Structure 1
């Protein structure tokens, strides 16, 4: 009997249809939203790190995290009393093509916990095979688990809607992985991550039932989603389904605008990686912009077509929403409301994108049509040279509108090749700073007030790939101190933190082409 004091109130596996087959083998699951499956028993689990914030959110304490009960439950060794773990059934479009049934191939939902009127679903990632694992083993390795653990918590503190992480642990087992898909598999340390969200329902959960023309299960899932996560929309009806889609579209755009704001590139925006709550979900081959580049993708699988590149994320969000609209259509049987929501997404993107860029530039009042030109000119300048996005915008906050001629000096640190800031390049930058200074004179805030506001929008610290890789390399040698250091650093990404100034730097040269620092695969 577990001594963990969790207020378990399961709904997904009680209110939605279950797979009647209880054996754990790969198969097509029809007429069901999930399959019951227990996590694989780990051989010798050990905790690496626990989020005290998420402990509190669940009603637990740091002392609880030190118990054998906690270790056993959140590494899959034991199942919580009176719970029935399960893997979700969903499909998805991957790289623009319908992939059919996908599902939780290595994620197992343990239970739902309600604490202080918040609902949290607990999910183990890397907990073993499920009916949706296809030919895979359902496990995860340490490197990818560290990346998701650190990034999901970092994104939360950046103010980006995201799934969270509770714990990171070693399983004690080795896992065979071909990291770059080049025919050279190697054994790596196995790990299991407990991630947390109000729900892990994705666009693909709806798509699979629509594709199979299983409208009865589709309706049950839609009604469940409204009941537990969009109850303010009213009782299920055609009108409510349209409202549901509009809300999902709005939240999706909001999250993607945040990604653009902080320079985050998801890397694999398939429809099965899109949350119906607009959360950032599935941290695989993600990356942070080093040089400002709309064409950059961190995903080796996407290197040729760059479908999921930084500048295309808003368009992919819209494309994915079209697929969700198609999935919901059988419940509505008319297109107007869905089309209106999609058109609103397009229009709102233009408005909200400019609004976001204006705030990054410290333009908080007196909306002006010239701001579009100012931001477009800036983006062109940023792309013409290799300029670090995070350093550029953070240092821009120190700009004095009385001294535009000093602007170039402020941003020199952000250039990967500072010697380029001369001649015609310097002239173009000086011309832009002249326009920027003129525009700032129409603002009500003085320079110091503007700096403070800009520094709440432009982070000083983000989880650059080389930082995560350093933590991974140390962890592979049994040293988890860097995981803890980065975890605590990234809890305050907008603060100066002078004791951590060493992390406010451009990507080092050694990391430019290093695996794990410049490009990543989907292997995890």
Structure 2
């Protein structure tokens, strides 16, 4: 690795590095192992704009390739790997940490301080038996999905850039190494708090909570019990996030507590997937043999994970003794999850069906629609997008995706009656629905095509797909194939925890 430190880029000279200032109990300062002979794979102009950087930053600043491949750092960066613990697949896994992630530093931006984090820059003290590397395949998926989720309006870490190398890495097969740079206001996880709670380190736990409140939840400082306010805010953000996942048909795949963002962001893209056929029991992670994180189970998993997070906060609530009063207060904060999730999902589904106002019977209408999609094995994204063309006088192309036309017609009659009840205007409703139902999502076969070409040295499809996914609601975004039914070979694709 090159130990040189290059001057900071002129548009990003201040690095507050607030998490680094917490001390050695929270992280290990270190440099990345880097990639030999790195090359650019892709960059996101939109993510760069969040940092206040020009679109050509990666060309303008000569040291950028070395920095974002883990080979060098800019002046002001304070690279580190953080320690955390967590529950994995519902089982306490003990100490974990940034096994293949490395925070480069925290940089001031027009939108506030942002953390820059490399994924795949080599081993850290928390790598356990791993090599600390990421492969090109998984890195492309994470880079593309981070940006895709943002443009779908779903809170997420961002993908700034992706670099690659000929360095061989063994997974199910020998692949090549890559490093993806992630951007977020914070990568704090439920597992950071669990780590200090389960190791009886309550002073560090308090320090971490104070840090989170001061820098990420400042409104909580005004509450009588700031930590309870923090729990309530995290609960609501998590509920709203998972409601958005369910509405768009996104499956995270590994909802361990160490993969749950304190800020309610989608982070740690691994074996994720978007639904093709609407199947509530769909398991996107080939490693999840028991289906713990199946699509329909995600809301309850989020609720369970919040309880694990709340347990870690018990020493900071009241006198820290877990009295009945303190437990009741914690339960009251957690109880907001069910209400907020239900309200958020209902609002999302009303928007997807073009319903302006909430009325009695709407939930039954939505549930029966989803049940119809399930029983008829209909593609979720395509059905929702085609529903945008529906009118009470002409069902349009959505009717064609159902084998049982009579079953659809029965539901459509109820839908038409519901639209008439609020005097819905077709053109206005259809335009609104097109802003709620994406034409294109990152399906596995689209990512796989980009991966296969990239593994042959052609990165053009990665950048093309990035552009398509940045306009997921537009009628002219991408090709007909991008928005079409998955090819037959897509059914053979599978992703696992090594993906």
Q: Same fold (TM over 0.5)?
A: yes
Write out per-residue CA displacement over residues 192-249 of structure 1, whole angstroms, 9 at most, x where no aligned residue. 01110001000000000000110000000000001110112226x8711000010001
Q: What secondary structure does 1:118 align onto?
A: coil
Aligned twin of 1:317: 302
| Contact map agreement 1:7 1:115 (CA 8 A) in 2 | no
Equivalent of 2:228 in 242, 259, 263: 242
| Contact map agreement 1:17 1:217 (CA 8 A) in 2 | no
Aligned twin of 1:21: none
Q: Is there any run of 5+ residues in structure 2 with no aligned partner, and where?
A: 1-5, 321-325
| Contact map agreement 1:267 1:284 (CA 8 A) in 2 | yes
Equivalent of 2:29 in 25, 36, 46: 36
Aligned twin of 1:121: 115
Aligned twin of 2:82: 88
Equivalent of 2:54 in 55, 61, 81: 61
Matches within 5 A, 1:69-468: 69-178=63-172, 186-234=173-221, 239-302=225-288, 304-332=289-317, 333=320, 334-365=326-357, 367-403=358-394, 406=395, 409-412=397-400, 414=401, 421=403, 425-468=404-447
Distance 1:499 1:83 in 2: 38
The alignment status of 1:522 with 2:491, answered yes or no, reads: no
Distance 1:376 1:74 in 2: 46
User: Cα offset for 1:270?
Assistant: 0.3
Distance 1:53 1:513 in 2: 33
Matches within 5 A, 1:475-514: 475-497=454-476, 500-514=479-493
CA RMSD of aligned residues (A): 1.5
Distance 1:149 1:435 in 2: 42
Write out per-residue CA displacement over residues 485-510 of structure 1, whole angstroms, 9 at most, x where no aligned residue. 10000101011116522211111112
User: Cα offset for 1:118?
Assistant: 1.4
Question: Measured at CA, do residues 113 and 299 of structure 1 come closer, stay the same or move farther in structure 2, by a change above 3 Å?
Answer: same
Aligned residues: 485
Q: What secondary structure does 2:492 align onto?
A: coil
Distance 2:34 2:250 in 1: 35
Distance 1:121 1:398 in 2: 42
User: Cα offset for 1:267?
Assistant: 0.5
Q: What secondary structure does 1:12 align onto?
A: coil
Question: Measured at CA, do residues 282 and 434 of structure 1 come closer, stay the same or move farther in structure 2, by a change above 3 Å?
Answer: same
Distance 1:498 1:44 in 2: 35
After TM superposition, what 4+ stretches of structure 1 lie above 6 angstroms from structure 2? none
User: Cα offset for 1:13?
Assistant: 4.1
Write out per-residue CA displacement over residues 418-446 of structure 1, whole angstroms, 9 at most, x where no aligned residue. xxx1xxx3222111111111111012430
Aligned twin of 1:28: none
User: Cα offset for 1:48?
Assistant: 1.0
Distance 2:76 2:150 in 1: 31
Write out per-residue CA displacement over residues 436-475 of structure 1, whole angstroms, 9 at most, x where no aligned residue. 1111101243001000111111111100000000000000
| Contact map agreement 1:91 1:100 (CA 8 A) in 2 | yes
Distance 1:141 1:336 in 2: 46
Distance 1:11 1:165 in 2: 20
Q: What secondary structure does 1:441 align onto?
A: helix
> What TM-score do the two structures reach when normalised by structure 1?
0.90
| Contact map agreement 1:292 1:387 (CA 8 A) in 2 | yes
| Contact map agreement 1:15 1:224 (CA 8 A) in 2 | no
Q: Is there any run of 5+ residues in structure 1 with no aligned partner, and where?
A: 19-31, 179-185, 416-420
> What TM-score do the two structures reach when normalised by structure 2?
0.94
Deviating more after overlay: 312-321 vs 79-88 = 79-88
Q: What secondary structure does 1:242 align onto?
A: helix
Distance 1:411 1:277 in 2: 40
The alignment status of 1:17 with 2:59, answered yes or no, reads: no
Distance 2:112 2:250 in 1: 27
